[in-house]
Chains A and B, each alone.
Chain A
């Protein structure tokens, strides 16, 4: 432990590659430069993060992007108010399937991993074949990392385009990502969606292959965010602003290619992610996926470029739309307002304005409208936004959430029409 007389901030994290910004803010002393003593506490589950956050052991935490919305909507067991003033970069999720399922799919038709629509259609046919099978499981089982994870909503969105509703047509289980490759190899599950390196490891062990990637489903959906107790954010606005600046500098540091080898060795330490330096280097150098799918689109881990740390209100509302779509919560004006006021671009703007960071003029955007890198005007300079398209070409308008939800023919909504 370094000597540090700064303001103490206690932060919970789960040992995943996208805890990088928190680790770097501490280890490269970006937090210390802001006068903060950022203490990181490693946790074994998101349930632990949620519970310790609720009793006040943590001021802030590394959280799955939809989790704060679920907590604020009262979908979990605790009552805490969480605000999200920052996203923690873009991940690199992959949907991997077992070799057995891959054989069924290739019998149905060629698998083109860059054509997620046809991959989903083949999967739907495989699910129907399985339902009629006389031996073995009659339902496909897919694993995700958590019920309130971007992995779940992205995978469900993709499958649903081919008519498959999670839980109704396909079983969903939750597993810790390190167990997923083995569960795939043993036939316990037929597929999973997890961040890297778990997809790559499953391929490397000969347990499966990668059917599609997150970047092929929703190009710019956030993975993890910074969750902050609302009471702490209100009591310590300066402290929070300092933390956001430290994390922002950490994000820029993480994206510098020359720093990636050092980042890999920082994360490799057993009290952080605890994977081998070699594996982490591979993941962070974007040399991931197997050689047979070199064209498979993958953006790797992106921490700062393209305003990926900006907490778009449209991200929160998209997650809300999918929670309603899959019957996790009932649609209401109040619930939508809860989701909307979970993400806080205002805190982000205030914290980073002293740094002259180029920022988008709006707090929400049409999700899926950007096909290519797009320069946008900002009050403080030029900013290039990354493509944010959905694979089916649909556009999410945050000002028209009800219509968006109603247009999905495949759903398990609580009420048939959302107003």
Chain B
């Protein structure tokens, strides 16, 4: 190692994501990571940490405040938005798509920062993917419950067994070019209206 470690400040109210990014950055050589998840007195924390790189998510409404403070305050070295160096358009776009913004102390060599940003971008994407998977698991569970209710209705009102009830739902879905869950939902809804029940 020929130079002192870079201090990377990660600002994120999402504790889980902050932890995942921190874990990733620990594997990048020559990096010290500091996490800020409490945004009150954010500027004070930035001044105290004296970071070389600041990473924050695009949902953070404090970006305008930080950018202004970086320009006018003398208490910190002046970080600049990573977009100053637009030579690496691909990285800039990847960062924006992932929802990351970064500020880098002026004069820092680009090759030292790139692995940090690459890691941050890939971890942001990983968290996003996890979130989507969780959401789809949740909705799958809800769909399965609805299909079970629809099967129960068919079994009671038409005297079918479970397999027959499922086959009927499946056939209807195929004929109507809809998903089984959608057919099940319509059935549960119609049944509850006819019987004055709350469909939930």
Selected contact of A47 from candidates B64, B72, B92, B93, CB within 8 Å:
B64
Q: Chain A residues with Cβ under 8 A from B80's Cβ? A: 77
A47 and B67 in contact (CB under 8 A), knowing A77-B84, A79-B86, A176-B62?
Answer: yes
Residue of B nearest to A143 (CB): B65
Asked if A9 is at the interface (CB within 8 A of a chain B CB), the reply is no
| C-alpha spacing A209/B93, complex, angstroms | 44
Given that A77-B80, A175-B65 are contacting pairs, would A45 and B96 also be in contact in the complex, using a CB cutoff of 8 Å?
A: no
Is B61 engaged at the interface, CB distance under 8 Å to the other chain?
yes
Q: Which of A26-34, A166-174, A395-403 contacts B (4 or more CB under 8 A)?
A: A166-174
Chain A interface size, as a band, is: 20 to 34
> Could you tell me if A48 and B63 are in contact, using CB atoms closer than 8 angstroms?
yes
* Interface stretch (choices A51-59, A91-99, A308-316, A357-365): A51-59
Q: Within A103-149, which residues are at the interface with B (CB < 8 Å)?
A: 145-147
C-beta contact mask, B150-191 vs A, less than 8 Å → 1, else 0? 000000000000000000000000000000000000000000
Residue pair A45, B72 in contact (C-beta under 8 Å): no
Encode contact with A along B48-68: 1 for CB under 8 Å, 0 otherwise: 000000000011111111011
Chain B interface residue number, banded: 20 to 34
Q: Are B64 and A145 in contact (CB under 8 A)?
A: yes
Which partner residue on chain B sits nearest A145 by CB separation? Answer: B64
How many Å from the CB of B117 to the closest CB on chain A?
14
- Nearest B residue to A146 via CB reads B64
CB nearest to B103 among chain A residues: A77
B58 CB contacts on chain A under 8 angstroms: 43-45, 48, 51
CB pair A51 B64 closer than 8 Å: no
Instruction: Tell me whether B65 and A173 are in contact (CB under 8 A).
Output: yes
Is A46's beta carbon under 8 Å from chain B? yes
- Say yes or no: is B136 at the interface (Cβ < 8 Å to chain A): no
**In angstroms, how far is the closest chain B Cβ from the Cβ of A365?**
31
On whether the beta carbons of B84 and A47 are closer than 8 Å, the reply is: no
Q: Are B69 and A174 in contact (CB under 8 A)?
A: yes
Contact B72 A44 (CB under 8 A): no
Do A173 and B64 contact each other (CB < 8 Å), given the known contacts A51-B83, A51-B96, A51-B101?
no
Please determine whether A45 and B64 come into contact, CB atoms closer than 8 angstroms: yes
> In the assembled complex, which residues on chain B have CB atoms less than 8 Å from the CB atom of A48?
58, 63, 101
Instruction: Kindly provide the distance from the CB of A77 to the nearest chain B CB, expressed in whole angstroms.
Output: 4
Given A44-B59, A44-B60, A77-B84: A55 and B65 within 8 A (CB)? no
Q: Which residues of A contact B64 (CB under 8 A)?
A: 45-47, 145-146, 174, 176
A57 & B86 in contact (Cβ 8 Å cutoff): no
In the docked arrangement, what's the CA distance between A178 and B93, Å?
Answer: 29
Q: Which of A313-333 contact B (CB under 8 A)?
A: none
CB-defined contacts of A394 to chain B, threshold 8 Å: none
Is B105 at the interface (CB under 8 A from chain A)?
no
Contacts of B60 in A (CB 8 A): 44-45
Q: Which of A138-189 contact B (CB under 8 A)?
A: 145-147, 167, 172-176, 178-179
User: What residue of chain A has the Cβ atom nearest to residue B82's Cβ?
Assistant: A77
Q: Is B81 an interface residue (CB 8 A)?
A: yes
Whether B71 and A55, one on each chain, are in contact in the complex, defined by CB atoms closer than 8 angstroms, is no
User: B72 near A167 (CB under 8 angstroms)?
Assistant: yes
Q: Is A78 an interface residue (CB 8 A)?
A: yes
B86-123 residues with Cβ-Cβ distance < 8 A to A are 86, 89, 92-93, 96, 101
CB distance from B54 to the nearest CB of A (A): 13
CB distance from B80 to the nearest CB of A (A): 6
Residues in chain B near residue A147, CB distance under 8 A: 68, 71
Chain A residues whose C-beta falls within 8 Å of the C-beta of B71 in the assembled complex = 147
Could you say which of B58, B59, B71, B101 has the most chain A C-beta atoms within 10 Å of its C-beta? Answer: B58
* Cβ contacts under 8 Å, B101 to chain A: 47-48, 51
Selected from A47, A57, A146, the residue in CB contact (under 8 A) with B81 is A47
- Which residues from 169 to 225 on chain A have a C-beta closer than 8 Å to any C-beta of chain B? 172-176, 178-179
Q: Please give, as numbers and ranges, the residues of chain A lying within 8 Å of B59 by CB-CB distance.
A: 44
User: What 15 new A-B contacts, CB under 8 Å, besides A51-B96, A176-B64?
Assistant: A44-B61, A45-B60, A45-B61, A46-B64, A47-B81, A47-B101, A51-B81, A52-B96, A55-B89, A55-B96, A77-B83, A78-B86, A147-B68, A174-B68, A176-B65
Closest 9 CB pairs of A and B: A174-B68, A77-B81, A47-B63, A45-B63, A176-B61, A44-B61, A174-B65, A77-B84, A45-B64
